[in-house]
């Protein structure tokens, strides 16, 4: 299981939006709080204008409780940290050409082109 520590940049999916912040779920099935004050440095009246349930966001881990619950921030991620995260996680994996199967396309091509 993946264990996160303070300072890690990770992805979390919003599962609930409350008046005080959003609850996110992470890859290790742990949850965390993105407090409304940690979304942006601007004043937020309606959090649902900044976040969407079901959407994934990059956040920085501020703390991890003993039970694994995390407090996270979007506003504390620096541009440099964002770039390092993107470079580390956007490496394209080559596709093995032996696993590409065009059989379905060949079988239906004549029907689709009519």
Q: What is the pLDDT of residues 6-35, one digit of tens each?
A: 999 999 999 999 999 999 999 888 999 999
Contact 12, 57 (CB under 8 A): yes
- Residue 40, pLDDT score: 93
Predicted TM-score (pTM) above 0.85:
no
Does residue 77 fall inside a structural domain?
yes
Does residue 27 fall inside a structural domain?
yes
- Domain housing 68: 9-112
Does residue 4 fall inside a structural domain?
no
Mean pLDDT taken over the chain = 86
Tell me how many domains the chain contains. Answer: 1
Where residue 66 sits, what CATH number does that domain have?
Answer: 2.40.50.140
Contact 20, 26 (CB under 8 A): no
Does residue 2 fall inside a structural domain?
no
Does residue 38 fall inside a structural domain?
yes
Residues with Cβ < 8 Å from 48, sequence gap 6 or more?
Answer: 17
Does residue 41 fall inside a structural domain?
yes
Does residue 87 fall inside a structural domain?
yes
Distance from C-alpha of 59 to C-alpha of 71, rounded to nearest angstrom: 10
Does residue 3 fall inside a structural domain?
no
Nearest-Å Rg of the Cα atoms of the chain is 20
């Amino acid at each position: 299981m993946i264990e996160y520590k303070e300072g890690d940049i990770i992805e979390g999916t919003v599962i609930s939006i409350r008046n005080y912040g959003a609850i996110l779920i992470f890859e290790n099935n742990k949850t965390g709080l993105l407090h409304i004050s940690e979304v942006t440095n601007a004043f937020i009246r309606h959090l649902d204008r900044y976040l969407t349930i079901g959407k994934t966001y990059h956040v920085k881990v501020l703390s991890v409780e003993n039970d694994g619950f995390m407090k996270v921030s979007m506003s504390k991620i620096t541009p440099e940290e964002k770039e390092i995260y993107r470079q580390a996680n956007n490496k394209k994996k080559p596709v093995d050409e032996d696993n590409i199967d065009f059989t379905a396309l060949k079988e239906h091509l004549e029907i689709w082109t009519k």
